[in-house]
Amino acid sequence: MELPVDGVRTRTNADDVLHVVTGVLSGVSAGEDPRQCLCRVVSGLVRAEACGYLRWEADSGRANVDAAYPAPAGSAVTAQASRGLAGAPSTLHGDPMRVGSSTWTVWVPLGSSGSNTGLLLVRRRGFSASAVRLLTDAQQPLAAVDGVLSTVERVPQQRRAARPVILLTPREHEVLQLLADGLLARTIAARLSLSPRTVNHHLGSIYDKLQVHDRLSAVLRARATGLLVDAPVLPQGRSERAERLHATRPAQ
């Protein structure tokens, strides 16, 4: 089933949310700035002309644009649009909503009550109610992805510089490379002529060695420790995107 969003034909909301999450994973694994990648993918979801990742400073009553798409124009546009948030601090949390009486800016909170972060999207033609609903459906998955990115960024710089030695077997490294391409266990199994059970065993070992619990964290940690360098991103077909819905730790 396809639903119209602002005159754009889309798949169901669940498919679009999946596309956003896998799009961020693919962009990050290819070396794109994580938060700019987040802005780019979400912009495409509702055809926004600009999207900024904002961090609201309560003391100064202003927002800092940490990343934007497109940059630098997106940064300037979202910085100007963020002024609408100043008079309504209650909008910093909760569901995605239009800023003030305007239909051309939408704020998507990503943090908890103690973390004033979110995405501000701008579209001169305005955002329809269906677009806001689509962003609402995507909000929790986006917040989860943002949380993973924040956790990785909190790793002390000296630990990153030290690049701890993580020993993977040649087969585990092959599996990790395909994981970075966004493939699921059954596709990796077919690519390497292994059984899905064997691939799940390798994934479990990789997660243990990297000390992570999900595939996005595994890719980010592997890049931070030098196990993945400019990992290629395979062309994504519609059926492959649907297959990659599972993104949790495989059963042992």
CA distance 245 to 251: 15
pLDDT tens digits along 20-67: 777 887 777 777 888 888 899 899 888 999 998 988 776 776 778 888
How many other C-beta atoms can be found within 10 angstroms of the C-beta atom of residue 27?
Answer: 18
pLDDT value, residue 246: 40
Q: State residue 156's pLDDT score.
A: 46
Q: Which are the contacts of 206, defined by CB distance < 8 A and separation ≥ 6?
A: 168, 172, 175, 176, 179, 218
- The pLDDT, as a whole number, for residue 199 is 94
What pLDDT is attached to residue 141?
A: 85
Residues 191-201 pLDDT 10s: 999 999 999 99
- Secondary structure percentages of the chain, helix, strand, coil, to 5: 50, 15, 35
Neighbouring C-beta atoms of residue 32, cutoff 10 Å: 16
Instruction: Give 157-243's CATH code, choosing from 1.20.1420.30, 1.10.10.10, 1.10.1510.10, 3.40.50.2300.
Output: 1.10.10.10
What's the pLDDT band for 220 if we cut at 50, 70, 90?
confident
Query: What pLDDT, on a 0 to 100 scale, did the predictor assign at position 202?
Result: 92
- For residue 40, the surrounding DSSP H or E stretch is helix 34-46
CA separation, residue 125 to residues 102, 105, 241 (Å): 11, 10, 30
CA-based radius of gyration for the chain:
19
Tell me the average pLDDT across 206-233.
77
In 50-196, beta strands by DSSP E: 50-57, 62-69, 97-98, 105-109, 117-122
Worst-scoring range by mean pLDDT, 157-161, 211-215, 222-226, 239-243?
239-243
pLDDT digits over 72-127, tens only?
A: 877 777 777 777 666 555 556 667 777 666 678 888 888 755 567 889 899 888 88
Give the per-residue pLDDT at 100: 60
pLDDT digits (tens, 9 = 90+) for 159-190: 444 455 677 888 998 999 898 888 888 999 99
For CATH 3.30.450.40, list the domain ranges present in the chain. Answer: 3-153
Distance of CA 241 to the CA centre of its chain: 15
In the CATH hierarchy, which fold is given to the domain comprising 3-153? Beta-Lactamase (3.30.450)
Confidence check: pLDDT of 240 > 60: no
Domain with CATH 1.10.10.10 in the chain: 157-243
Q: Which of 223, 227, 218, 221 is nearest to 247 (CA)?
A: 218
Please give the pLDDT value at position 84: 67
> What is the Cα–Cα distance from 67 to 51, expressed in whole angstroms?
9
Place of tokens 């989860």: 144
Give the pLDDT band (50/70/90) at residue 142: confident
